[in-house]
Chain A
Amino acid sequence: MSTSPATTEETGGHGDISVGVTTAGTSGDATASATRITPGNALRPEDIALAVSRGTAKPTEDVAEFALRLGDDALILAQRLGHWISRAPELEEDIALGNIALDQLGHARSFLSYAGGLNGKSEDDLAYFRSEDEFRSVELFEQPNGDFAVTIARQFVVSYYQFELYSRLTHSTDATLAGIAAKAVKEVDYHRDHSAQWVLRLALGTDESRRKMIHGFKVIWPYVDELFADDELTARLAAAGAAVEPSSLRADFDRLTGEVLAEAELEVPQVPAALGGGRRGKHSEHLGYMLAEMQVLARQHPGASW
Chain B
Amino acid sequence: MATQTLQSVPAELTPEQLEEAARHEAEGQAYFDRVMAEDSRIEPRDWMPAAYRKTLIRQISQHAHSEIIGMQPEANWISRAPSLKRKAILMAKVQDEAGHGLYLYSAAETLGQPRDQMMQDLMDGKAKYSSIFNYPARTWADMGAIGWMVDGAAIANQVPLCRASFGPYGRAMVRVCKEESFHQRQGFEILLELSHGTPEQKQMAQEAVNRWYAPALMMFGPPDDDSPNSKQSMAWNIKRFSNDELRNRFVGMMMEQVKVLDLTLPDKDIRFNEETKKWEHGPLDWDEFHEVLKGRGPCNAQRLERRREAHENGTWVREAAAAYARKQAEKESAA
Contact = CB atoms under 8 A, between A and B. Distances in A.
A124 B321 contact: no
Interface stretch (A233-241, A266-274, A279-287, A296-304): A296-304
Interface stretch (B48-56, B272-280, B288-296, B309-317): B309-317
B230 interface: no
Contact of A293 (B72, B79, B201, B310): B79
Nearest to A294: B79
A204 B328 CA distance: 10
Contacts, number: 144
A209 B317 contact: yes
Contacts of A95: 95, 98-99, 102
Secondary structure at the B interface, as helix, strand, loop or mixed, is: helix
A91 B98 contact: yes
Contacts of A127: 84
Interface stretch (A5-13, A99-107, A171-179, A186-194): A99-107
Interface residues of A, number: 50
A28 B78 CA distance: 32
Nearest to A46: B85
Interface in B155-207: 190, 193-194, 197-198, 200-201
A305 B111 CA distance: 48
Given A91-B102, A208-B316, A298-B83, A85 B95 contact: yes
B320 A108 contact: no
Given A94-B71, A305-B197, A87 B320 contact: no
B140 A105 contact: no
Q: Dominant SS at the A interface?
A: helix
A127 B140 CA distance: 18
Interface string B67-104: 01001100100111111111110011011001101100
Interface residues of B, number: 48
Contacts of A85: 71, 75, 78, 91, 94-95, 98
Nearest to B94: A85
Given A85-B78, A88-B310, A297-B82, A94 B98 contact: yes
Nearest to B91: A102
Nearest to B74: A86
Contacts of B82: 128, 297-298, 301, 304, 306
A16 interface: no
Given A85-B75, A92-B102, A301-B200, A296 B95 contact: no
B319 A205 contact: yes
A201 B318 CA distance: 10
A90 B317 contact: yes
Interface of B: 68, 71-72, 75, 78-88, 91-92, 94-95, 98-99, 101-102, 105, 140, 190, 193-194, 197-198, 200-201, 306, 309-310, 313-324, 327
Given A98-B91, A296-B80, 20 more contacts: A82-B87, A83-B79, A85-B71, A85-B75, A86-B75, A89-B313, A91-B101, A91-B105, A92-B102, A109-B88, A204-B327, A205-B319, A205-B324, A293-B79, A297-B80, A297-B81, A301-B82, A306-B83, A306-B140, A306-B194
Q: Which 9 pairs show the lowest CB-CB distances between chains A and B?
A: A89-B314, A205-B320, A209-B320, A89-B317, A98-B95, A86-B75, A86-B71, A201-B324, A205-B324
